[in-house]
Structure 1
Amino acid sequence: MIELSIYMLERIGIIVIFAFLISKWRPFQSRLYREQNTSSKLILIVVFGLLGVISNYLGIRIDNGDISAKIMSVQVEESAAIANTRLVGVAIAGIFGGPAVGIGAGLIAGIHRIFLDGYTAIACGISTILAGVITGLLGRKLHVEKTFSYRHAMGIGIFAECLQMLVILLIARPFDMALNLVQIIAVPMIFMNAFGIFLFCLIIKTSIAEEQRTKATQTHEAFQIAQKTVIHFRQGLNEESCYQAASIIKEATGVVAVAITDQHGILAHVGEGADHHLTNQKIMTKLTYDVLKHGKIIKATKKGEINCPHKDCKLQAALVLPLQVHQQTVGTLKMYFTDGAHITAVEEELAEGLSKLFSTQLEYAEVEKQRKLLKDAEIKALQAQIHPHFFFNSINAISSLIRTDQEKARHLLLQLASFFRSNMQGARQMRIPLEKEIGHIEAYLTIEQARFPNKYTVMFDIDERLLEVLVPPFTLQPLVENAIQHGFKNAKKGQITITARKNAEMLEIIVADNGCGIEKSKLILLGDQVIDSPNGTGTALWNISERLKEIYNYRGKIEFKSKENKGTTVKVIVPIDD
């Protein structure tokens, strides 16, 4: 009995090695620890069934009481039997996979045992299949796979082995040989196989605990970084906020460099390579463009994949993470390493968590900014209703016409009422039909042209099929007002053309003038930020640009083209299908 116990312990060692290896195999972990679908169950059946087959081959031959530890028993003589760890794999399959997996693994291991022959072949085959059923039912009832109760797991193993001994006594013949065999193998197999099940569960539980500790550490680290950077990312993607955030991320993660970009260029680079990875520089690598295009994390493990043109650059590897707002990639976060081997699974999972957290912070920033923009638009619209200059100038123009042209005065009064009514309605709506926005412009132009006759002409080229397309209110009137107030400073007669056309699935509204144009230094800033200028701040244009991005998830935009002394063209682009 002691000799057989030692041999059985050696076989248990093989089970332990197997358990350790599969506990570290990620695809197997996901199938073993989580809710299992049909394909996952089939994989578990094959894995544990093959473990049972291997245990059969590694069985300890017992022939008329003689014990032989010869490895790889391909065939068993009629007068011999084998003691093995076959039920360990079947029991684990039932405990963790349920009855279906237990039965499947039991069938594979049991049928294989029958084909090995020996006078206990049929009895062992049947008992193996029964063990799969019983361990699956008991394991599911006791929730061993969730609670990892070693007492229950070992109890199930002992019960399954006792059942096997009983089936051998009932089926195997001759009976005296079966009885003698049970007397030899019962105690070693029952307790050693139960011990094997205990070790298997212990390894899996330890593996899960280690994984949970790692994830907890990563989550804690990610939240700490997010907590420190939230004040910066909530300011949106700009040079100052990105520099501060990149500095925090580099210090917290220990990477050699951190860079943040928007869709066009580098906003910040902190750490190694800062001497040539310069702020305001255009994006240089296809790697970053791929992340912007596909919105997925990309890992570069070689310097060639980073493709830095600086020959002495020490940045050899990188994780490039997408920064997303409403499922649209608006920038990237790049974490650099000096060696691709330093990018472990821990760093990848941490990076994935940071990408999601930073994207959430940016979304909050956009929501807050949009709330302020809408409030600002509403306030400006309400202010326009009582703007003293516009209001009194309009009243004065109408008053001067009452004596000379009463019909025209009446028309202007109706247009003034229409203008104020449009302001009030637009302040309460996110989008209005293009027809109403055009009406708002016409009311404004009628009043202005009455005050300044022959100063400029306005031409409309509107595709009537587009009049029902929804656009944000207060989008076009500020563009026309800018052209009138800032564009026509010279003596020549001004001309404004307003065009609406369909281009693919987009609505393009173009406001063009032949005015004095815009300086290049100011043109590149229009729509992106507020500009300090004696002639205005550009707040209205910035407001329009930001609202288009937010309302249409960055599919809407405003574009500016201008040449000094030749005129300015402003194009508003919005999706028609939204």
Structure 2
Amino acid sequence: MSEILLVEMIERMSVAVTMALILAQTATFRRLVQQRVTGRDQLLLTLFFGLIGILGTYAGIPVNDALANSRVVGVMAAGMIGGPKMGLAAGLIAGGHRYLLGGFTAGACALANICEGLLAGYIHRRCPTRPIPWWLALAAGMAGETLQMMIILLMARPFAAALALVQEIALPMIVVNSIGLAIFMQIMKMARDAQRKVGAEQSHKALEIATKTLPFLRRGLTADSAEATARIIFATAGYDAVAITDTERVLAFVGAEAAHHAVPGAGLTRATRHVLATGRIWVARNRQEIGCRCGDCRLASAVVVPLVRAGLVVGTLKLYYTRANAVGDADIVFAEGIAHLFSTQLELAEIDQQAKMAARAKLKALHAQINPHFLFNTLNTITSLIRTNPDLARELLLKLSTIFRYTLHKTGRNITIAEELTQVRAYLAIEQARHGPKLKVVEDIAPHLVNCLIPSLTIQPLVENAIKHGLGPKEEGGCVWLTVREGAEAALEIVIADDGVGMDLTRHHPLRQPGNEAIGLINVHERLRGQFGPAYGLTVESRPGHGTTVTMRVPRGLEEVDDCA
């Protein structure tokens, strides 16, 4: 082995290493890391690796009318990174070029390159890790170059010249090129790991910001929610300015140049209008690409990403620098991640809004079914009392007005138990006037619980159900017990029991097989479970002839908010 040849090949190997470093910085390699390679990317990579092979040929060292070269590095790297097809294509490019150069080893070297590309592609398929680890690349390089020496001995003529050549170049090429291939693949691995680390860091930061902005964006894309969100990003992410827009105007702008970007009627920049029109991310490298109407604007580069809800672009998120060409790969990864999370939050806000609208519609449907029947019976009772007991008739009219005033102002809110009981007692007063001594009501309410909040219109439907379906069929009437007590696990329990006709729950359970006769019951149950989860809602206990007990379970500590608006 010539020590001079070994040293010279090590020097020439730097060509392949340099090309690896160049590849690691390209957008094509980033897509390769993210496993989003397109057909165009595959073609570019094939040409790139074929070029590395050709450069390895030109950097070769003449030996006995042949070349000691590093062509194998590009060919086998193609197969290890892209699979058999890319390895074969790169082998054809590099090997074809070598064949055209001529020489007594031209055919053997060309065939060897094709075989080496296929060998590397086979390793790509069989190896479960990506990219190929350095030690496997080292072994594959040694095997590939050994295969090339065997092909030269089998094909090149005269044999004596082929043997002399192999004796001269075999060991240097096997050692240097296998090391070169290992270094090439290790550079690919380090670049991939670095990009994934950047992606992980940016994703973590995006998730942290998304967590902080969740309470605001769940209200939808409004000026207030956008302002709070923009300030959180500005304080956390280190940009010179942050803006959020809808499809027509700037909702929030925080940071540099807010004086003219945040004013009403400032309008959207050209970059923003482009993103709204295309639905694709846009990186502005300079002031001209941002397209601000203010000639003195200091914002010099930006990344603009669309905010999407239900497949439609509803706005943009814009991250600015005051330096030109300042947007890097990390900024793009961060912007894409945060925009995706924001879009998800906006879709959840839309779902919440639709759910609340559905709940309100269901509540109104309940009123529509209850109120006419109840109003008809109440007015008949009042009519019959006007002559016989005008004072009671007047009192019932006041109770009736209390009920409808409550319905008008309290529906869909969390209110105190005391407020709910005011409406329930007004309803019971009317029912007792209608049924006389046949209806008795017993209350057992813990005084310290009356200021706890519960959803409105939850107790009255249960009381009405007990009177109408429990006591109504009994000629002698009966009693309704209303109990408010503390339950387990910081819950409230409101129990409505009657000694009415009862029912056989094994044959028909009103919460599992709802019918028209239990619309109030099932409505309350579904509202509570939908708002608080499956641990809350109603439970029913009943036996034919022994009455019915309905227990409503709600959490303590509710806020006084509009739960259906």
Give the structure-2-normalised TM-score: 0.61
Match for residue 357 of structure 1 among 318, 332, 341? 341
Shift of 1:123: 2.7
**In the alignment, structure 1 residue 82 sits paired with structure 2 residue 67:** yes
SS at match of 1:350: helix
Report Cα offsets for 1:443-490 as digits up to 9, x if no partner: xxxxxxxxxxxxxxxxxxxxxxxxxxxxxxxxxxxxxxxxxxxxxxxx
Report Cα offsets for 1:247-303 as digits up to 9, x if no partner: 101011112222333344333332233334446546354544444344333344444
- Gap change, CA 1:374 and 1:203, over 3 Å in 2: same
Report Cα offsets for 1:368-424 as digits up to 9, x if no partner: 12111111122123224444899459978xx9xxxxxxxxxxxxxxxxxxxxxxxxx
Moved more, 257-266 or 214-223: 257-266
Please list every run of 5 or more consecutive structure 2 residues that lacks an aligned counterpart in the other structure: 384-565
Between the aligned partners of 2:249 and 2:119, the Cα distance in structure 1 is 63
What is aligned with 1:204?
A: 188
What is aligned with 2:501?
A: none
How many residue pairs match? The answer is 381
- Gap change, CA 1:30 and 1:246, over 3 Å in 2: closer
- Gap change, CA 1:148 and 1:380, over 3 Å in 2: same
Shift of 1:319: 3.2
Shift of 1:201: 0.6
The one-letter code matched in structure 1 to 2:245 is T
Shift of 1:121: 2.6
The 5 Å alignment of 1:322-471 reads 322-387=306-371, 391=375
8 Å CA contact 1:32–1:96 kept in 2: the answer is no
What is aligned with 1:168?
A: 152
Moved more, 309-318 or 117-126: 309-318
What is aligned with 1:106?
A: 91
8 Å CA contact 1:239–1:267 kept in 2: the answer is yes
What is aligned with 1:22?
A: 23
- Gap change, CA 1:135 and 1:247, over 3 Å in 2: closer
8 Å CA contact 1:319–1:334 kept in 2: the answer is yes
Between the aligned partners of 1:50 and 1:318, the Cα distance in structure 2 is 35
Report Cα offsets for 1:296-328 as digits up to 9, x if no partner: 333444445555555654334433333222122
- Gap change, CA 1:318 and 1:195, over 3 Å in 2: closer
The one-letter code matched in structure 2 to 1:217 is E
Match for residue 282 of structure 2 among 274, 290, 298? 298
Shift of 1:38: 6.1
Moved more, 149-158 or 48-57: 48-57
8 Å CA contact 2:240–2:256 kept in 1: the answer is yes
8 Å CA contact 2:95–2:111 kept in 1: the answer is yes
What is aligned with 1:56?
A: 57
- Gap change, CA 1:393 and 1:314, over 3 Å in 2: farther
- Gap change, CA 1:232 and 1:21, over 3 Å in 2: same
Between the aligned partners of 1:182 and 1:302, the Cα distance in structure 2 is 57
Shift of 1:190: 0.8
Between the aligned partners of 1:304 and 1:127, the Cα distance in structure 2 is 52
What is aligned with 2:13?
A: 12
- Gap change, CA 1:311 and 1:371, over 3 Å in 2: same
SS at match of 1:237: coil
Please list every run of 5 or more consecutive structure 1 residues that lacks an aligned counterpart in the other structure: 64-79, 400-578
The one-letter code matched in structure 2 to 1:107 is L
Shift of 1:187: 1.1
Shift of 1:134: 2.8
SS at match of 2:130: helix
Give the structure-1-normalised TM-score: 0.60
- Gap change, CA 1:278 and 1:390, over 3 Å in 2: farther
- The sequence identity of aligned pairs, in percent, is 41
Shift of 1:113: 2.3
Between the aligned partners of 1:108 and 1:34, the Cα distance in structure 2 is 25
Between the aligned partners of 1:290 and 1:168, the Cα distance in structure 2 is 59
Match for residue 217 of structure 1 among 198, 201, 216? 201
8 Å CA contact 1:106–1:131 kept in 2: the answer is yes
Aligned CA-pair RMSD:
3.1
Match for residue 131 of structure 1 among 97, 116, 124? 116
Between the aligned partners of 2:249 and 2:206, the Cα distance in structure 1 is 26
